Amino acid sequence: MAGLKFPTIKSLEGQTLYYLLTGHRISHLEFQNSTRSYCLRGPIFNLRQDGWPIDDCWNSGGISEVSGRRTKFKKYFIKEDDLKAIRVHFGERLDSFLELAKGGHPQTGSLEGGIQ
């Protein structure tokens, strides 16, 4: 956990980290619906480069009307053990970050309704 730093709260990295630190598993589509930004790949890459322990897993969706094949997509998350370690390491700093980040993304003003 040493060396981890919090990104700017109102950045896409800040909002992505907020979702992950609050236990959400997010996909590109959920991120787009919530932030109006399609590119989740960039914030995930940057956060991983900064040392945040972000995992991912493949999921299957419905059948594509175009290809007739089952769609596949990734969900990104932080494992429960890592979340606990982050909470111990950062303590009140984590609480402050989460409270400030709860205000929403600059493009939408809200985190409500997009991430499950």
**43 vs 68, higher pLDDT:** 43
What's the predicted TM-score (pTM) here? 0.82
Checking 20-24 for CB contacts under 8 A at 24+ apart, the result is 20/47, 20/52, 20/54, 20/76, 20/77, 20/78, 21/78, 21/83, 21/86, 21/94, 21/97, 21/98, 22/98, 23/77, 23/78, 23/80, 23/83, 24/77, 24/115, 24/116
Domains of the chain, with CATH numbers?
A: 12-101 (1.10.10)
Q: Quick one: what percent of the chain has pLDDT higher than 70?
A: 88
The pLDDT tens digits for 47-75 are 999 999 999 999 988 887 888 888 889 99
